[in-house]
Amino acid sequence: MKPAIVFRVATVLLTASILLAGCNLPAAGLAAYADFRSTKTPFQPDASSDDSTSTIEKGDSAETDAATLWISPALPAALRAQIALPDGQEEVTDRENSSAQIAIAQGETVGQWVYALVAPFPTVVDAVTINDLLSAWQGRASGAFAGLPLLVSPETRTLFSAWWGDPATGAVEVHSASKLLDASWAAQPSWAIVPFEELQPKWKVLAVDGQSPLFKDFEPSEYELSVPIGLSGEGIDITAFNISNRDANKLTTVVITGVTALVRATAYEMNRSGVTYPAEDIGEFMRAADITHISNEVPFWNDCPAPDPVQRNLVFCSDPSYYALLEEVGTDVVELTGDHFNDYGRDAMTYTLDIYDDHNLPYYGGGRNLEEARAPLFIEHNGNRIAFIGCNGKGGGYATAAADYPGAVACDYEYLEQEIARLHDEGYLVITTFQHNEVYTFIPQPGLIRDFGRVAVAGSSIVSGSQAHQSHGMQFTDDDTLITYGLGNLFFDQRGVVENGDSALIARHIFYDNRYISTELFTIIFVDFAKPIFMSPEDRSAFLTTIFGASIFDTQ
């Protein structure tokens, strides 16, 4: 079961109607991170340093029995700010005359200060080993970052010098924390170490020995960039401390996907191999997200004809039994902006909405009438306030939602901009998704750039295209909104028919303490007309290189 999610639907939404010029006829293992394993960090703080593992006993010259605490100057300011002493106890600057000390890796552990190894977002490398990182610190970098300095802030250099020992001459490059991201983007390829609380979307977080602070199963004590903070001495109650810059109860992961259309050859294969067959390789990954999004373009219908793998017309419906696939991947939100929602008319749309309502599955981008279809969908999870909103921007008859008729909602950009700005001002993290024009190129086209850009600058955190059968490049705005112009197919029979239709992206967005902090890109490839699997490392590297090459990224 997923953690509890609080849904508050301002009016539910949906997806839409008829076909698309591009809905063409059809003809392992998770590779997002390498599974590295290595020994624990072979370095320990120098016994002569301020963060020695030895303890200091209070000398006879002390003039008072009141407990006094020395806090290592190697510790960052944000950590020091978490230490609050009770009345009658005080902080001192002289370690020799303190009764207790807080420093790196000494005494009883009272917390972990978590750091992330990062690189500019359009970096293909996903992971390194701790030995790679320590070798770089010693001036012996190898592999993807060979010969490149490791970028750090002055505060981070001070802490890791106390933890690992001083870096080799020229091994690190120091920039102020506010300039670190710009410096790293300007120097690509590059890498850096930043504290978890300073993560931002334009960084890509690299796994270290298979662990990342973005993972839901992250264990700080098993992560080599989680710095143990210890208390030694006497007079200070260890239970008074719980020092950390990462709280799992403030983290939310949201998986956003592209096209789902359970029809034609996809449906034929589902009937032959099992309804949940398409989820065999990716189901566990998708269920693990706190919020899993599916853009289901096609209505369910209880009198839907048997699937024809070579169906020539583009009027679609799905058998109601196929709902089990949505359950298998842990669907939490359904987008209804698609072109085919009205293919079987009012009754089929109403029937589909009844299924979603009966399963308490919220939807947006379409609904039983215009008011419901255009309204945002609100979800609160771990203190993160997320609002989904979407529409169909293709024009014509694809979006049929009206005052008294169901369907997908057509894009009203003036309304969208005002509503997104309002939601942003009220503290919501807005995810805006589109059904839009289909183009068969990796490079985003002017119409997409224009319309996606409008809702991005209005205050969206994420803008995502749900229409693409071929994945497109992406872009960051100056305000760190990520625009993914088209993710590609999730469950649809484009393998071998549309050029590059067998490869696609799944985006996992990370929100923390009601901030958008990071995105991880997962790459899938179809083995037949129904089932995607995660790409091999080689295929993933080639595909991401293509996607990043087609993206609109400034140097910073």
pLDDT digits (tens, 9 = 90+) for 195-252: 999 999 999 999 999 999 999 999 998 999 999 999 999 988 877 788 999 999 999 9
Question: On the CB side of 379, how many CA atoms lie within 13 Å of its CA?
Answer: 26
Per-residue pLDDT averaged across 144-167, rounded? 95
For residue 62, the model assigns a pLDDT of 40
Number of domains in the chain: 2
Residue 95 domain-assigned (yes or no)? yes
Residue 253 domain-assigned (yes or no)? no
Contact 451, 414 (CB under 8 A): no
Looking up tokens 């909103």 gives 389
Q: Is the pLDDT of residue 505 over 90?
A: yes
Residues 14 and 99 placed together within one structural domain of the fold? no
Mean of the per-residue pLDDT values of the chain: 89
Q: For helices 154-164 and 130-137, give the axis angle rounded to 10 degrees.
A: 100
Domain-terminating residue out of 246, 275, 294: 246
Over the stretch 459-501, which tens digit does the pLDDT of each residue have? 999 999 999 999 999 999 999 999 999 999 999 998 877 778 8
Residues 86 and 103 placed together within one structural domain of the fold? yes
Could you tell me how many residues make up the chain?
Answer: 556
Q: Is the pLDDT of residue 289 over 70?
A: yes
Residues 16 and 84 placed together within one structural domain of the fold? no
What is the C-alpha separation between 447 and 474, in angstroms, rounded?
14
Q: Classify the C-alpha dihedral 296-299-300-304 as positive or negative.
A: negative
Over the stretch 418-472, which tens digit does the pLDDT of each residue have? 999 999 999 999 999 999 999 999 999 999 999 999 999 999 999 999 999 999 9
Over the stretch 321-353, which tens digit does the pLDDT of each residue have? 999 999 999 999 999 999 999 999 999 999 999
For residue 211, list its beta bridge partners: 208
Residues 287 and 385 placed together within one structural domain of the fold? yes
Residues 14 and 142 placed together within one structural domain of the fold? no
CATH code where residue 521 lies: 3.60.21.10
What is the C-alpha separation between 490 and 507, in angstroms, rounded?
11
Q: Which residue has the higher pLDDT, 347 or 21?
A: 347
Residue 265 domain-assigned (yes or no)? yes
Residue 151, H or E segment: strand 150-152
Give the pLDDT band (50/70/90) at residue 291. very high
Domain-terminating residue out of 246, 269, 304: 246
Per-residue pLDDT averaged across 168-179, rounded? 97
Give the pLDDT band (50/70/90) at residue 285. very high
Q: Is the pLDDT of residue 364 over 80?
A: yes
Residue 254 domain-assigned (yes or no)? no
Residue 55, H or E segment: none
Domain-terminating residue out of 217, 246, 275: 246
Give the pLDDT band (50/70/90) at residue 65. low
In terms of residue numbers, what domain contains 182? Answer: 30-246
CATH code where residue 115 lies: 3.40.190.10
Per-residue pLDDT averaged across 358-369, rounded? 98
Residue 1 domain-assigned (yes or no)? no
Lowest mean pLDDT among 1-5, 257-261, 265-269: 1-5
What proportions of the chain, in percent to the nearest 5, are helix, strand and coil? 25, 25, 50
Residues 76 and 200 placed together within one structural domain of the fold? yes
Residues 397 and 492 placed together within one structural domain of the fold? yes
Residues 195 and 296 placed together within one structural domain of the fold? no
Residues 41 and 12 placed together within one structural domain of the fold? no
Residue 251 domain-assigned (yes or no)? no
Q: Is the pLDDT of residue 4 over 70?
A: no
Residues 358 and 502 placed together within one structural domain of the fold? yes
Residue 208, H or E segment: strand 203-208
Q: Is the pLDDT of residue 543 over 80?
A: yes
Question: On the CB side of 515, how many CA atoms lie within 13 Å of its CA?
Answer: 12
Counting residues of the chain whose pLDDT is more than 70, the rounded percentage is: 88
Give the pLDDT band (50/70/90) at residue 46. very low
What is the C-alpha separation between 252 and 144, in angstroms, rounded?
30
Q: Is the pLDDT of residue 48 over 50?
A: no
Residues 240 and 280 placed together within one structural domain of the fold? no
Burial 416-445 (b: 16+ CB within 10 A, else e): bbebbbebbeeebbbbbbbbbbbbeebebe
Q: How far is CA 329 from the centre of its chain?
A: 17
For residue 275, the model assigns a pLDDT of 98
Provide the token pair at 485: 């112009």
Q: Please tell me whether the overall predicted TM-score, pTM, comes out greater than 0.85 for this model.
A: yes
What is the C-alpha separation between 282 and 31, in angstroms, rounded?
12
Q: Which residue has the higher pLDDT, 556 or 240?
A: 240
Q: Give the contacts of 369 (CB within 8 A, at least 6 positions apart).
A: 401, 402, 403, 404, 405, 406
Per-residue pLDDT averaged across 84-101, rounded? 90
Counting residues of the chain whose pLDDT is more than 90, the rounded percentage is: 81
What is the C-alpha separation between 480 and 87, in angstroms, rounded?
43
The secondary structure of 74-91 as a DSSP string is TS-HHHHTT--PPTT-EE
What is the C-alpha separation between 31 and 187, in angstroms, rounded?
27
Q: Is the pLDDT of residue 554 over 90?
A: no
